[in-house]
Structure 1
């Protein structure tokens, strides 16, 4: 059954990729090749972004945003929207594979953090982005990246992760997860990613959830947040 689920998930992921590539070709036709020539740096960047996204809890935006803003001189606002858009494709495809392969995730965490993330996403996109200076946005991303690095270093030093499920979620845990969602959503609304990193750090450091469960949970969470972020920018900006 597991092999069958794996094969099905691979086929669905391949079909998803073909649909995305086909839609891109139709959208850029007849200038598809010239688009690649003019923006090859973006494709190269996302090769590494997809590798990082596939190996960690981070989305491809974690690579795209710093490269775009610090090397390619793209505005933080445009880099943020790109990050959300690219993750709404890649992270959704990964989420479909996770669900089809029946990988264990924490659905209660996803639900509560996502609810907070909706509010935070609105705050970051609508209220903070117009008033934050570009340097402040870059600094915000750097702080977030350093926090994730601290988490990974902590894990590599033998930090014990011995829980494969959340404890009973009472009012305190619910409030904490909502706050995580609001903070993570606000950061995602400002730099294009963040709710996945914040949630991952809280799960492994505070609740001591196994990394193998925290990672797919964060992936699905970022997929939901990215899709909502893209819809927010399509219909309200």
Structure 2
């Protein structure tokens, strides 16, 4: 944090960017909530930043996507450092698989898939993915929060699952909307592996932090940043670097159910808002397609849940692969990247 604030002060006051910070102060206010959500839920800070920019401020969807990369590279990385320092248990095998898969999928998606997706469909893809995720939590929340322990984690299987999901989510979710791999890995953990939220959410935070860094590097190398990202980032970054780890800390003290419920409602609201705001451009067929896409996402979630229930019932003595402090103290959080 000391290093970050030193650089931020240099950028703002020495290089004379204070005017940009003042112009974009509403983004800093919005990301106070977004950064808390990033640290306390499986939904990254871009989950708030994207709809605020695109729906509230009526900016291009590509700005929302690029801003998600930039702001999460500060907030979620900060939250990840805090999680590592606390030796928070994580699903190490699935996380490692997702990291390697996304190293392939995210750069390829940014370069070859994202440029082909129109602005309207970027906006709709975000709304559908997160809207369906919110709906899932509204009717499965009690079951999700009831999971305890390590569920049915299994090293070799989970690595393969993470590898495939990381590549697909990196290419078709993160590259297009700036978020999504955190939700995908979280869904696999709570619906299929049926692990405790205290394991699933930190794992999702770390994989989204990693993908945000990948997105920043790729965007910087190819020079494909939206020009409005910098001002919004300058305003929001000093807030999110504190807010995301604060979310990790606070959610350990309060009922996680309430936080998930509020964020789930926000996801559903932004889905309805997007469909209403774009009703003219979408037309009847477009709205039907969006509804069908939400239904398809929910069917996939239920399929994962069904597989997980059958697997747990048939394999009740699976090995714990959680990386945590209990009996693996020599293996710090950095071992996840090994």
**TM-score scaled by structure 1?**
0.85
Distance in 1, matches of 2:216 and 2:152, equals 30
Alignment match of 2:189 (pick from 184, 200, 203): 203
C-alpha deviation, 1:88, in angstroms:
0.9
Alignment match of 2:59 (pick from 74, 79, 88): 74
Superposed CA offset, 1:109-137 (max 9, x none): 11101111122212321112211111100
Aligned length: 220
In the other structure, the counterpart of 2:107 is 122
In the other structure, the counterpart of 1:214 is 200
Alignment match of 1:223 (pick from 172, 190, 209): 209
SS of residue paired to 1:129? helix
In the other structure, the counterpart of 2:86 is 101
C-alpha deviation, 1:77, in angstroms:
2.0
Alignment match of 1:110 (pick from 87, 95, 117): 95
Describe how 1:130-141 pairs up with structure 2 within 5 A: 130-141=115-126
In the other structure, the counterpart of 1:13 is none
C-alpha deviation, 1:91, in angstroms:
1.0
Say whether residues 1:27 and 2:14 are aligned partners.
no
In the other structure, the counterpart of 2:313 is none
In the other structure, the counterpart of 1:168 is 154
Q: Please, which runs of 5 or more residues in structure 2 have no aligned partner?
A: 224-338
Q: CA contact under 8 A between 1:103 and 1:216: conserved in structure 2?
A: yes
C-alpha deviation, 1:84, in angstroms:
0.8
Q: CA contact under 8 A between 2:165 and 2:184: conserved in structure 1?
A: yes
Q: Please, which runs of 5 or more residues in structure 1 have no aligned partner?
A: 1-15
**TM-score scaled by structure 2?**
0.61
SS of residue paired to 1:58? coil
C-alpha deviation, 1:165, in angstroms:
5.5
Looking at CA atoms only, which structure, 1 or 2, has the larger radius of gyration? 2
C-alpha deviation, 1:142, in angstroms:
0.9
In the other structure, the counterpart of 2:177 is 191
Higher relative contact order (CA 8 A, sep 6+): 2
Larger mean Cα displacement after TM superposition, 60-69 or 160-169: 160-169
Distance in 1, matches of 2:97 and 2:222, equals 24
Residues 165 and 19 (structure 1), Cα distance of their counterparts in 2 relative to 1, 3 Å cut: farther
